[in-house]
Amino acid sequence: MAQQQEDKLKKIIAHAKEYGFIFPSSEIYDGLSAVYDYGQNGVELKNNVKEYWWKSMVYLNENIVGIDSAIFMHPRVWKASGHVDAFNDPLIDNKDSKRRYRADQLIEDYMARIEEKILKEVAKGRRKFGDDFDEEKFLNTNPNVLRHKKKLEEVHSRYVRAMNDNDLKELYNIIIDYGIADPETGSKNWTEVRQFNLMFETQFGSVAEGANKVYLRPETAQGIFVNFLNVMKTGRMRVPFGIAQIGKAFRNEIVARQFVFRMREFEQMEMQFFVRPGTEMEWFDYWKQFRLLWHKNMGFGEELYRIHEHEKLAHYANAAVDIEFRFPMGFKELEGIHSRTDFDLSQHEKYSGKKLQYFDPELDKSYVPYVVETSIGLDRTVLAILSASYREEDVSDKGQTETRVVLSIPPALAPVKAAIFPLVRRDNLPDVARKIHKMLHTRFNVAYEEKDSIGKRYRRQDAIGTPYSITVDYQTLEDNTVTVRDRDTMEQQRVPIDRLPQMIEERVSMAKFLEQLDV
Ligand code: ATP
């Protein structure tokens, strides 16, 4: 990771901790690797993101319903889904540093570095030739660029082949042939590449009774497939229809060093859409567009998102893309959209012996529906929101240098909607402020603060992303108006107390936020 990007991630991690968003798990015991706890503001943000996702998928779509299935599932589910045999990552150890890596990620990072080199050459060329710079020509003629491009193509084609063939020896050879080193220490002393299953196991029942092995689910999707019949029958669902679920998933990730981007316990928001075979590509495109719109609706800027087509399709998929987000560590997967054919339901038919089919009255026949899946990580979304909304602004005034840190979180998602402050802690101002708090707290998550100067209280709310700060002052006692300060513009206006609920609602309304998707 480039220094600047690393610094940005460090800042986000420190900010998330300082302002009660995300803490390392069991911190008083020095933390537990790749496990995190959400604090008082983090949980609010996370709940709001869940609400945004849930309502956009379940409420806005007449033919989608939600469920909440258990984390434990029958062990045969994971045999049928392929996870017992194939939910593996290629693992490699460095013999000197004793650090463990994913071989595929080492190679992908290596390719990303070559791409960076090409971009640097282009920037150099642009500086050198100024207005006469012809990027297209430069990319096709500059000897340095051509050398990098050739190498990239070479590594890339060997890598894709190795991943598709599950060829661990070839992954090892690529690492050795290109001298890919341990990113932490530079050592090239590697072990061979091995497969590592990512599922956590535990037991049901005591050992004496002959315990049964069970798994912590590595994805929420299977809970949807095994409930396909139940939901279809009880909900009188007709294809095409979808089932959505939000819940915890567990993966024993080999390398988990990027904050909540890669955790061992995390949350997913998944939707499986069951369609008539042959129509899956239309639906795949539809969901790709809709999900992209969902992300862009947060208003952080289109340039932060890109679509990445999968090079290695899972054997059962006939199309797959990732929506990537520009995290502080670079563009990385935030959400996957996959056309999974009839693989999952057919597998469960085979392993359970139950028919998992839909009778299509228009075609007058039964079939196993095809599935288009949208699968997004909740924690990654929270990280995306924190990193896109984090801003340091120079607010120096009259020779005094000052920066303010502000989280410009979309108001509908902000953890605290408004904070209420008495200007001073006397003359009845706290009582009035508390009354306002009481008037608002059944509708919004509002905060009350009376400690520190008003300036400091504003800064604290900016750092949490609170859209409005409301100050009760002496004028309030005379005319029942308060000062409302806007998080983004820092402008202040006087507002009658009885107008506050409506004013806040207009700004933070989830309904309005959703309406922008409802096209
Ligand atoms: P990656 O390639 O980054 O490991 P994946 O392709 O295995 O991810 P999926 O199985 O498609 O991920 O899971 C769907 C979504 O769940 C991902 O897009 C991501 O947002 C989230 N996710 C997956 N693994 C983790 C994890 N270890 N920590 C946090 N979120 C995760």
Q: Evaluate the CA torsion angle 230, 231, 235, 240 in order and state its sign.
A: negative
- H-run or E-run covering 323: strand 319-327
pLDDT of residue 381: 98
pLDDT band at residue 472 using 50, 70 and 90 as cut-offs:
very high
pLDDT band at residue 176 using 50, 70 and 90 as cut-offs:
very high
pLDDT band at residue 254 using 50, 70 and 90 as cut-offs:
confident
Amino acid identity at 67:
I
Average pLDDT over residues 369-381: 98
Distance CA 52, CA 413 (A): 8
Q: Does pLDDT of 156 surpass 90?
A: yes
Q: Evaluate the CA torsion angle 242, 247, 250, 253 in order and state its sign.
A: positive
The reply to whether ligand 1 has any atom less than 6 angstroms from the CB of 108 is no
| 3-state SS assignment for residue 1 | coil
Q: Which of 246, 227, 287, 251 is nearest to 60 (CA)?
A: 287
| 3-state SS assignment for residue 507 | helix
Q: Does pLDDT of 519 surpass 80?
A: no
371, β-bridge pairs:
274, 341
Distance CA 190, CA 171 (A): 12
- Residue 218 alpha carbon, nearest atom of ligand 1: 10
pLDDT of residue 2: 66
- Domain parsing of the chain, residue ranges: 1-84+200-390, 88-197, 411-515
Question: Residue 24 — left, alpha, or beta (φ > 0 → left; ψ -120 to 50 → alpha)?
Answer: beta
- Cα-based angle 172, 177, 178 (whole degrees, multiple of 5): 105
Q: Does pLDDT of 86 surpass 90?
A: no
3-state helix, strand, coil in the chain (%, to 5): 45, 25, 30
Q: Does pLDDT of 413 surpass 70?
A: yes
Closest CA to ligand 1's atom 22: 377
- Residue 335 alpha carbon, nearest atom of ligand 1: 18
Amino acid identity at 276:
R
Reported in sequence order, the residue ranges of 347-479 that DSSP labels E, i.e. its strands, are 358-360, 365-367, 370-377, 390-394, 403-407, 418-422, 446-448, 468-472
Average pLDDT over residues 18-42: 96
pLDDT of residue 205: 80
Angle between helices 143-164 and 103-129 (to 10 degrees): 160
pLDDT band at residue 210 using 50, 70 and 90 as cut-offs:
low
Q: 1-84+200-390: CATH homologous superfamily?
A: Bira Bifunctional Protein; Domain 2 (3.30.930.10)
In angstroms, what is the C-alpha Rg of the chain? 27
* DSSP code, position 281: H
Q: Evaluate the CA torsion angle 378, 382, 383, 387 in order and state its sign.
A: positive
Q: Would the CATH topology of 1-84+200-390 be identical to that of 88-197? A: no
Residues 6+ apart with CB under 8 A from 501: 439, 440, 443
pLDDT band at residue 6 using 50, 70 and 90 as cut-offs:
confident
Which structure tokens are listed for 381?
Answer: 């979304």
Using the CB atoms, write b or e for 43-67: b if 16+ within 10 Å.
ebbbebbebbbeebbbeeeeebbbb
Average pLDDT over residues 497-507: 97
Distance CA 469, CA 454 (A): 10
Closest CA to ligand 1's atom 25: 262
- Between strands 241-250 and 265-275, the pairing is antiparallel
pLDDT band at residue 249 using 50, 70 and 90 as cut-offs:
very high
- H-run or E-run covering 455: helix 454-464
The reply to whether ligand 1 has any atom less than 6 angstroms from the CB of 415 is no
pLDDT of residue 207: 65
Distance CA 150, CA 425 (A): 70
pLDDT band at residue 209 using 50, 70 and 90 as cut-offs:
low
pTM for the predicted model, two decimal places: 0.89
Average pLDDT over residues 42-50: 98
Q: Does pLDDT of 354 surpass 70?
A: yes
Distance CA 118, CA 112 (A): 10
Q: Does pLDDT of 83 surpass 90?
A: yes
Amino acid identity at 363:
L
- Over pLDDT 90: what percentage of the chain? 88
Residues 6+ apart with CB under 8 A from 347: 80, 81, 82
Q: Which of 253, 263, 251 is nearest to 200 (CA)?
A: 251
Q: Does pLDDT of 185 surpass 70?
A: yes
Q: Which CATH number fits domain 88-197: 3.40.50.300, 3.40.50.2300, 3.30.420.40, 3.30.40.230?
A: 3.30.40.230
Average pLDDT over residues 116-142: 91
Residues 250/265, Cβ–Cβ less than 8 Å: yes
Compute, in degrees rounded to 10, the torsion defined by CA atoms 292, 293, 297, 300. 40
pLDDT of residue 4: 75
Distance CA 65, CA 57 (A): 8
- Residue 2: CB atoms within 10 A of its CB come to 12
- Residue 262 alpha carbon, nearest atom of ligand 1: 28
pLDDT band at residue 395 using 50, 70 and 90 as cut-offs:
confident
Distance CA 150, CA 172 (A): 21
Q: Does pLDDT of 313 surpass 80?
A: no
The model's pLDDT over 96-113, given as tens digits with 9 standing for 90+, comes to 999 999 999 999 999 999
The reply to whether ligand 1 has any atom less than 6 angstroms from the CB of 263 is yes
Q: What is the mean pLDDT of the chain?
A: 94
Of 333, 374, 381, best ligand 1 pocket probe by most atoms within 8 Å of the beta carbon: 333
Q: Does pLDDT of 211 surpass 80?
A: no
The reply to whether ligand 1 has any atom less than 6 angstroms from the CB of 344 is no
Average pLDDT over residues 352-380: 97
The reply to whether ligand 1 has any atom less than 6 angstroms from the CB of 42 is no
The reply to whether ligand 1 has any atom less than 6 angstroms from the CB of 251 is yes
Residues 452/462, Cβ–Cβ less than 8 Å: no
- Residue 251 alpha carbon, nearest atom of ligand 1: 27
The reply to whether ligand 1 has any atom less than 6 angstroms from the CB of 487 is no
The reply to whether ligand 1 has any atom less than 6 angstroms from the CB of 158 is no
Q: Does pLDDT of 351 surpass 90?
A: yes
Distance 377 CA to ligand 1 centre (A): 6
pLDDT of residue 208: 61
Average pLDDT over residues 483-508: 97
Residues 6+ apart with CB under 8 A from 361: none
Residues 268/246, Cβ–Cβ less than 8 Å: yes
Show the 3-state SS of 419-445. Answer: EEEECCCCCCHHHHHHHHHHHHCCCCC
Which structure tokens are listed for 453?
Answer: 């100067």
Average pLDDT over residues 366-373: 98
pLDDT of residue 398: 83
Lowest mean pLDDT among 43-57, 63-77, 193-207, 462-476: 193-207
Top CATH class, 411-515: alpha beta
Average pLDDT over residues 457-461: 96
